Structure 1
Amino acid sequence: MAEKLRKYETLFVIHPDHTDAKDEIVEKISQIIQQDGGEVLKQDDWGMRKLAYPIEKKRQGYYYLMEFAAPAQTPPKLEQTFRIDERIMRFIVVKLDEKYEPETLAA
């Protein structure tokens, strides 16, 4: 039997000087999720937005939200990737309450 998948979402803020690499960053995150047998469920490109407070003397950042289903070992891998990548200003990975059941997502 395959490992149980849980639903998560991640919101990350890309440095405004690196928005040209947005697609590359999103693809990298998607690959990490899929390597562990997970799948990306939703992607939401929020675009350039004003930050609540300046980060690295920047007042804006590029926001991207991704919902995914993955085994428990995937979120720590994502967090490590976010920490290493200097193009990511801030990030958060949150486990959602709902259980992931592929056959019920047809709606």
Structure 2
Amino acid sequence: MNNYELMVIFTPVLSEEDYKAAQKKFIDLVTANGGELVNTNPWGLKSLAYPIQKKTTGLYWVMEYKAPSDFNEKLKIQLLRDDNVLRQMFTVLNKYAVEYNGKKRSGVPTGTEKVEA
């Protein structure tokens, strides 16, 4: 199983319940196909760099998970079929990225923080 990170931008017109239901749908898809959820991070409403489907904001959500390599194609198909998804991006995480994300979640200094003088 490989480590992956998925960032999804949902349409900004979703209610809070619909936003959580959309997240749960993709989490359930990962676990139902033999994957393992590592972490989720809902960023909330953010401005887009450029308009997508005439929308200038989107609901961002990041999910880190472990899954077989052939699973991402199934997940991509489901993301493309969902009308609430504006954009998605998969990232394969190497061992250093997994270690960095783990340190960041636990609050351990990663060495990339800004130092105020």
Letter in 2 for 1:43: T
* Unaligned stretches of 5+ residues in structure 2: 97-101, 107-117
Secondary structure in 2 aligned to 1:91?
A: strand
Q: For 2:20, which of 20, 23, 36 is the aligned residue?
A: 23
Equivalence for 1:49: 46
Taking a change above 3 Å as real, the CA distance of residues 22 and 62 of structure 1, as seen in their structure-2 partners, is: same
Letter in 1 for 2:48: L
Q: Which has the higher strand share?
A: 1
Letter in 2 for 1:66: M
Equivalence for 1:14: 10
Task: Map 1:65-76 to 2 at 5 A.
Answer: 65-76=62-73
Q: Highest relative contact order (Cα 8 Å, sep 6+), 1 or 2?
A: 1
Shift of 1:98: 2.2
Letter in 2 for 1:51: L
- Which structure would you say has the larger Rg? 2
* Unaligned stretches of 5+ residues in structure 1: 100-104
Count of aligned residue pairs for this structure pair: 97
Letter in 1 for 2:70: Q
TM-score, scaled to structure 2: 0.77
